[in-house]
Amino acid sequence: MFHWLEERPFMFAAVVIVFTAFAGIVELIPDFAKSSRPLVGTKPYTVLQLAGRGVYIKESCNSCHSQLIRPFKSETARYGMYSLSGEYAYDRPFLWGSKRTGPDLLRVGNYRTTDWHEYHMWEPKDVMPTSIMPAYKHMFTNLAKIETAYAEAYTVKKVFNVPYDKEGMPVLGSFEEAKALALKEAKEIAKDMKSKEVKALLEDGKVPEIVAMIAYLNSLK
């Protein structure tokens, strides 16, 4: 039926380009509409959560975990509502991932808790004996980079107008304020943790990576 096209390589290429460009436009245009980004209720990350996100990137968690739920029954039944582009408005860079060695984590905050993460990150095999996820014991003593996270938040606020300090949005303020706030948020999370080492560091005014990481994982909903 398409012989007339298949016999003409140049025409064929032109038609393919027009078709894919059209399909691309249909997919992309709605995302330029103001109402689709950010999705209502989406908030920028707090400084503590951003520090945790930094650890997530540093440790390449995204090489084994996706953060993108496709609109298939098999995925929504397991992970929840499929992803909408407006949910990623404050994700820089996005962490969709391209491989699922472990489960998707986009909404892990809905079904895993602080104490579960603490136990699992210390030694995943204690939770699931066949797990191939590495243990992250060093996160219990390494310190989170609050200063870098603050710089990151400050930059996206200035450059991309990310609405920090607006009504109902996370407070950024000065670095001293942000640091105090991150420590307070971390102590709140540590109430549900067992590690004495972590609690001692927090009492000392230091935030271990594991607490920032859990703050980030809890924010994924």
Question: What is the Cα–Cα distance from 129 to 120, expressed in whole angstroms?
Answer: 11
When asked if residue 57 is in the footprint of ligand HEC (CB under 6 A), the reply is no
- Count of positions on this chain that bind ligand HEC (CB under 6 A): 23
Q: Which residue lies nearest ligand HEC, judged by its C-beta?
A: 102
Nearer to ligand HEC by C-beta: 68 or 162?
68
C-alpha distances out from residue 171 to 1, 66, 101, Å = 62, 29, 36
Q: Shortest approach of ligand HEC to residue 44 CB, angstroms? A: 20
Tally of CB atoms within 10 A around 180: 13
Q: Which is nearer to ligand HEC, 11 or 57 (CB)?
A: 57
Stretch that binds ligand HEC, among 24-32, 54-62, 160-168, 203-211 (CB under 6 A): 54-62
Collect all residues with Cβ–Cβ distance below 8 Å to 133 and sequence separation of at least 6.
64, 102, 124
- CA-derived radius of gyration, the chain: 21
Give the pair of three-digit tokens for residue 29: 């245009």
Q: Where along the sequence are the contacts to ligand HEC (CB under 6 A)?
A: 56, 59-61, 63-65, 101-103, 105, 108, 112, 124, 127-128, 131-134, 136, 213, 217
